[in-house]
Structure formats: C-alpha cells, structure tokens
Chains A and B, each alone.
Chain A
Amino acid sequence: MKDCQYYIELISAELDGEATQEQRSELAAHLEGCAYCRGIYEMLHGCTALLDETVAEPPESLCENVMGEIRRAELRKKRGRRSIIALAACAAIVIIGGVSIMGTWRAGRSDAAVYSMERAVSESAVEEVCEIAAAPAAACAPEPESEEDFDAGSRSYEYELSEESVPQERAAGAYMQNYSDDLARQCTEIYLADDEILAYISEKETSLPETATLYAKMYIPQNNEYLSVLLYLDGEEAYCENANKICKIVGLNASDIFYFVEMHSFSQ
C-alpha cells in the first residue's frame, strides 16, 4: 500500500494537470477511503485559488530602466567606434504639419540628426503600448528613393502624397488614431533612427502584407520627445525609407496590426 505522501504528490500533479488518467483513477479510489488525503485535496485546491489572486503589476519604470541601462551600455560600446558611427547612415524623416496638414512630407538627414538620435536613444523611455486593428485597403505603390539622395547630407526632401496611391486622410488617420488625440495633434515629425532603415528593400513592398508590426519613434516638438520606427511585415523585417511609406503601410494593413510605440524623452 502506497503511503499518503505518494497520494499528496498525485493530488498536486492532478491540480497542475500533470496526472495521467490512470493516476487520477488511482487517486480517486484512494480519496474514497482516506479522510486525511481528502482534507489535503481540499486544502491544496483552496491554496491554489489563493495564489491565483495575488498577481502584482510590475513597476511602470521597469522597461524604461532596463532599456536605459542597455542603451547606455551600447552607447559606451559605440563611442569606442565613433568613426564607424559617423559613417553609418541615419535618416531623419520629418512630417511637416499636424493631422490637418499631413499631406506634405519632408525627409532630412544631417549630422544634427545623428546627434539627436544618439541623444534620443540614450535618454529614451518607453511610455505606451497599444494595439489596433486597421482595415485592409488598396495596393501600395512603390516609391523608389535613390541611396544617392539619402546620402546627400543635410538637405531635406519634400514629398507630396499622391492621392491615388493612398487615400491621404485615411492613411494619416490610421496612423494617428493609434495615439491619443492630444498626442496625434502634437506629432509633427517622424525620425527614422535605424541605419538599416535606409537599406529598405524596394522590391519588398509591392505586395499587401497580412500583418504589420510597427515600432514607431516620433518626434513631438512640444515635449521635445522622440519615437522610433521599425516595421515588420508578415513577421519579416521591413525598413521604411520614409514616413510616406509608413503611412501607406499602416493605411493598407489587413486585419492584424500590432502597434508598439516607444516614446523617447529628449531634451536639448
């Protein structure tokens, strides 16, 4: 005859869904005749219910602190190879105007932008995560951008959103509705920080994505804050050359856009 310790393990395993059918029958048979184990059975079930009730929220600053530490460490590493950084591409794409005048886009890149991004990255804070679903829409017209243009230094570029390529209001709306109204009104610039963004492969973007995940880094002048942009289409990394394209992709998305917004604090 097995001792009660054996059955206590079975009770516990049963509770965790780890007991086999055979073990469960064995346990049931034992419980019939053992008041002690019946008591334990009740007790362990009650105890597990109690544990379930005590889930704590992590502190809001946790992610921010972790990322701050990591960025500082990375920055220290990077400082060791500053000459490489100087060569690395860093695009700053600026949307001029708020929601009402989202039609004009300007992309710029300069040493100042490189500096800004370093500062932004070093002092960033994750503020907000939100999920949205956007409606599917029409095909996305490729917008070729020569690397030469991007490498031309501190000039800025202006694009007009073409009406037939993307319904502008909708694209802008789909993009902006992921923020609070107040924030949306404040979003007047987008900076793309990652050098790999420049390497966005233009052949990728012609087909409609089923899903898109966007990591946005936006500049909010009133608060002097940055948000960054990274994009995953159908689970594959895609890099947007410019904000125009981001808008299109967001506007075009099928069912399942998961929006992850990081807000980066930045001060002059």
Chain B
Amino acid sequence: MDRELENRLIKRVLKGDTEAFSALVMEYQSPVYNLALRMMGNREDAEDIAQESFIKAYNSLSSFKGTASFQSWLLRIVTNTCLDELRKSKNRRTVSLSVENEDEQTEQLDIADTSLSPDELLDRKLTAESVQRGIAALSPEFRAVLLLREINGLSYDEIGKTLGLEEGTVKSRIARARKRLCEFLIRDGNIPERYSSIKKNGGDNR
C-alpha cells in the first residue's frame, strides 16, 4: 500500500468511516501478528495482542501525526502492549514462556516453502521452534529490538523512535540480543556445525 493511499485511509477513518480501517488491518496484520507472536511466544496471546493493538490504534488514530511511518507507529503500540502484558504475566507466574507453550508453537511456525523434502521440513520446523525458544529466552526489551529489526525490518533509527531509545542503544542491544540468541541456538544444537566452532576458541574473549 503506498503512503498516500494509507494517509487517505487514515483520514477516512478519522472522518468516521470505520470500514476504511479494515484495509489498514489487512495490510499490517502480518507484521503486527508476527511481532506479537515472537514477543509473546504463543499464538493465543499473539492473537489477543494483535487484536488489542489494532483497536488501540483505531482509538488513538487521531494522535498519529504522520512524522513516523504508520507501520512503526503501529508497531510501537504492539511492542508496548506486549511489554505491558509480559510484565503483568511475570507477576502472575514465573514459568518460562518457551516451555509453557512448546506444544502450541509446533503448529504455529508455518514454513512457507513446501518444495522441501519431509526431512528438510522437519529440520526447519525443529530449527524454527528452537529459534522461538531462543527468542523467548531473551529479556522482553532485548527481544523487542531484535524482532523489530529481524521480523519487521525497521531501521535502527525507526526502532529508536519506536521504542524511545538512542540509536546507539538500539545498535548495542541488537548485537547483544543476536549474540545471546546464537549462543542459545548453539547450546540447543540448532546452529550448523561450522558456526558453532566459536564455542571452543572464543570463550575467554567475551
């Protein structure tokens, strides 16, 4: 959707045309849902968060000034909604999300390329689950920066604006989050051998 049409749609919604909002939902449901899914670690919460975020966006649309892109404005809502929810659930229970929802995740990680052999598909699926567990093992703040970059493709500048962080902070958080995720994947045996050589020769440099 081009920016101009997007702005027209937003104006329409602000004028009271509720239905125009559904075009925005259709356009952004994938980045919104995927961010929520990786943040929350399970499909059910992700759907709730996605829904809640869109409704929040609808209700506060008049505060969208168009200085940032609509997508990054929307993703900020998603991120904050996730962080709020994670803080709440942290108070409720201490069980790790990754363990709790392991079964659910096996279905939710769709792998688009069906030209692969069953073995390859299984491998990918296991890897995808492992990646999800690795992401869940990151702290929510680290998770958010990494996901906005990796899943939503935002620039450091946009991520900084989205989360209210300095660009330098974004940069170092992404690097750390990435490294932690890699270390998790290596422990989990889900990074190819050649990448994991790092384990042996890198220990004392950290």
1/0 per residue A250-263: CB within 8 Å of B?
00000000001010
Cα A111 to Cα B181 in complex, Å, equals 61
Contact of B178 among A47, A53, A228, A230 (CB under 8 A): A47
Cβ-based interface call for B65 (8 A): no
Report which A residues bind B (CB closer than 8 A).
Answer: 4-5, 8-9, 11-13, 15-16, 18, 35-36, 39-40, 42-44, 46-48, 50-59, 62-63, 65-67, 69-71, 74, 121, 126, 129, 194, 196, 213, 215, 217, 228, 230, 232, 235-237, 260, 262
Main secondary structure of the interface of B (DSSP, over half): helix
| Complex interface residues of chain B between 28 and 51 (CB less than 8 A to chain A) | 29-30, 32-34, 37, 43, 47, 50-51
The answer to whether A63 and B17 have CB atoms under 8 Å apart is no
1/0 per residue B175-206: CB within 8 Å of A?
10011011001100011101111100110011
For the complex with contacts A36-B202, A66-B51, A66-B55, 8 further pairs of A-B residues with Cβ separation under 8 Å are A36-B205, A50-B128, A51-B150, A62-B50, A63-B25, A67-B22, A232-B5, A232-B8
Contact of A55 among B47, B151, B156 (CB under 8 A): B151
Residue among B19, B112, B128, B174 with max Cβ neighbours from chain A (10 Å): B19
The answer to whether B198 and A39 have CB atoms under 8 Å apart is yes
The answer to whether B192 and A260 have CB atoms under 8 Å apart is no
Cβ-based interface call for B108 (8 A): yes
The answer to whether A51 and B8 have CB atoms under 8 Å apart is no
Cβ-based interface call for B132 (8 A): yes
Residue among A9, A54, A126, A236 with max Cβ neighbours from chain B (10 Å): A54
Give the distance to chain B from A74, nearest Cβ to Cβ, in Å: 5
Cβ-based interface call for B171 (8 A): yes
The answer to whether B33 and A58 have CB atoms under 8 Å apart is yes
| Complex interface residues of chain B between 126 and 159 (CB less than 8 A to chain A) | 127-128, 131-132, 149-151, 155-156
Report which B residues bind A (CB closer than 8 A).
Answer: 4-5, 8, 12, 17-23, 25-26, 29-30, 32-34, 37, 43, 47, 50-51, 54-55, 58, 108-112, 124, 127-128, 131-132, 149-151, 155-156, 171-172, 174-175, 178-179, 181-182, 185-186, 190-192, 194-198, 201-202, 205-206
Cα A244 to Cα B124 in complex, Å, equals 52
Give the distance to chain A from B125, nearest Cβ to Cβ, in Å: 9
Q: Given A9-B172, A56-B34, A56-B110, do A18 and B198 touch, yes or no (CB 8 Å)?
A: no
Cα A194 to Cα B17 in complex, Å, equals 8
Main secondary structure of the interface of A (DSSP, over half): helix
Give the distance to chain B from A18, nearest Cβ to Cβ, in Å: 5
Give the distance to chain B from A226, nearest Cβ to Cβ, in Å: 11
Give the distance to chain A from B27, nearest Cβ to Cβ, in Å: 9
Give the distance to chain B from A28, nearest Cβ to Cβ, in Å: 17
Residue among A8, A47, A236 with max Cβ neighbours from chain B (10 Å): A47
Contact of A12 among B112, B151, B175 (CB under 8 A): B175
Give the distance to chain A from B45, nearest Cβ to Cβ, in Å: 12
On chain A, the residues within 8 Å of B29 by CB distance are 58, 62-63
On chain B, the residues within 8 Å of A213 by CB distance are 5
On chain B, the residues within 8 Å of A8 by CB distance are 175, 179
The answer to whether A262 and B19 have CB atoms under 8 Å apart is yes
Give the distance to chain A from B156, nearest Cβ to Cβ, in Å: 5
The answer to whether A42 and B194 have CB atoms under 8 Å apart is yes
The answer to whether B124 and A53 have CB atoms under 8 Å apart is yes
Give the distance to chain B from A8, nearest Cβ to Cβ, in Å: 5
On chain A, the residues within 8 Å of B112 by CB distance are 55
Residue of B with least CB distance to A63? B25
The answer to whether A129 and B195 have CB atoms under 8 Å apart is no
On chain A, the residues within 8 Å of B33 by CB distance are 56, 58-59, 62
On chain B, the residues within 8 Å of A196 by CB distance are 17
Cα A15 to Cα B17 in complex, Å, equals 42
On chain B, the residues within 8 Å of A48 by CB distance are 150, 178
The answer to whether B25 and A67 have CB atoms under 8 Å apart is yes
